[in-house]
Structure 1
Amino acid sequence: MAGVALTAAASAANAYVIDFTKASTGHSGSLFQGAVTWHLSSSGILNNSQSFDGNPTPAGTGLSFETDGYGVGRNDDEISTWPNRYEWIDITFSAPVLIDAIYFLDLFRSADGSSLEVGKASINGGNPLITLAATDTAGTGASGFVGTTFGPVFASVIRFTVLASNDGYGVADGALAGIGIAPVPVPAAGVMLLGGLAGLGALRRRRKAA
């Protein structure tokens, strides 16, 4: 199992980020000293082999930006949507975790401003948790980075896709760059609660003995 890249984020909103722009992250890993594991699956071949080529490099995310993030395809580092084809990437956790940020790369607006690419993340098979609309213009050398932080949300499975709107080049596509993880996982919270109850019980026994 490949080790996950856990990096202290610059933003106070999230404690860690699973960094899909780090070349060594791989398709699976663990969080919180192994308390929770995660793995990626997709509609095709997972690929994060393309080197990051945006300018400037986004700051304040905890991402390394060694690569352009994960996409689907043997020679493609982006999640694509076009007629009769719909690509996706899922991340599945062994136990629910609190997520508080989502990051995409390679989402662009068309040069004339008439359309833009949109990344989508859906949680536990339900409605979209977020949709992130491109802000960078295609063809300018920018990274197409879009990210957002939010109040922590429990997740066991997150599906990442791209909507059909386009940037005027080829097909609608974008890359998964990272996921922010809040500091306390569900298993750890349970252990803390049990530890607190045990401590209260011990304190009561001491008082009775006195």
Structure 2
Amino acid sequence: MFNMKWVAGAVTGAVIGLGSAAANAYIIDFTNANTGTTGTIFGGSVSWTMTASGPLNNSQAFDGTANAGTNAAGLALDTDGYGVGSYDDEVTTFANGEQEWIRVSFSAPVLVDALYFLDLFVARDGSSQEVAMASINGGFPIVSTYATDVFGNSRPGFAASTFAPILVSDIFFTIMSTNDNIGFADGALAGIGLAPVPVPAAGLMLLGGLGGLAALRRRRKTA
């Protein structure tokens, strides 16, 4: 006997899996000096808006040496990306627990399959590492992006999370309290990767799949 909730989940997973096999269709590149706090994607059909706990800032020039992983993401690397504060290019969690945040909201759901950060570092002695957190659609799922660059030697602190596409209307970014033992826990939002499967097409695929499975269920009942 088919459980229709399980079936719906399976088909949704299949649709999401199709998108995960392809490269990003588009990256909202916050390291591009011309990227503001609002914009449009997919030919203007979807708009996005960025808000934060304080003044948004992407004025800090990129101050690292781009490594192969950073270049592979396709980022412009004019700047370090967006942070919070009039003179700060990073999202910071302070020792007293105060936590800065950035939120990116979309006018219509989009399929997100990657998140990119700069200035996330591992401590020189390996004892601690900075971690960026992204809460999707009000809290779940939570995506954690862990630093891989050890602080120093002009490393950019680039870190990425790539995953099967998630249907997203809102992303809330913060930094965990662990740090690189240099200062406060902080990191800059560098980019958001969008999957190539358009949401309307994914919806049609999902409806078609559910319709086919429903027909199969009816056949099984009459057999």
TM-score category (smaller protein): 0.7 to 0.9
Quote the residue 2:91 is aligned against.
Answer: 79
- Listed as ranges, the gaps of 5+ residues in structure 2 are 1-20, 207-223
**Cα deviation digits, residues 29-76 of structure 1 (max 9, x gap):** 111111110010000000000010111342211211110000000000
Q: Is 1:28 equivalent to 2:38 in the alignment?
A: yes
Alpha-carbon distance, 1:186 to partner: 2.5
Which one of 117, 120, 125 corresponds to residue 107 of structure 1?
A: 120
For residues 34 and 170 of structure 1, do their structure 2 counterparts lie closer, same or farther at Cα, with a shift above 3 Å needed?
Answer: same
- Render the CA deviation track for 1:131-156: whole Å, top value 9, x for unaligned: 11111111221000001221110000
The 8 Å contact of residues 80 and 188 in structure 2, kept in 1 or not, is answered as yes
- Gaps of at least 5 residues in structure 1 are 1-10, 194-210
2: distance between equivalents of 1:32 and 1:133?
A: 29
Query: Is 2:142 aligned against 1:129?
Result: yes
**Deviations, residues 158-183 of structure 1 (Å, cap 9, x unaligned):** 01110000101110000000000112
Aligned to 1:63: 75
Q: What are the superposed Cα offsets for residues 11-32 of structure 1, whole Å, 9 maximum, x if unpaired?
A: 9431110000000010011111
Deviation at 1:187, TM superposition (A): 4.7
SS of 1:85's equivalent in the other structure is coil
Letter aligned with residue 24 of structure 2: N
Match of 1:171 in 2: 184
The alignment-based identity, stated in percent, is 58
8 A contact 2:23–2:196 mirrored in 1: no
| Structure 1 runs, 4 residues or longer, greater than 6 Å off | 190-193
Instruction: Report the CA distance shift for 1:169/1:128 in structure 2 as closer, same or farther (over 3 A).
Output: farther
Aligned residues: 183
Equivalent in 84, 88, 91 of residue 101 of structure 2? 88
TM-score (norm 2): 0.77
Q: Is the Cα contact below 8 Å between 1:13 and 1:150 reproduced in 2?
A: no
User: Quick check: which one's strand share is greater?
Assistant: 1
| Higher relative helix content | 2
Confirm or deny that 1:143 pairs with 2:143.
Answer: no
| Normalised TM-score (structure 1) | 0.82
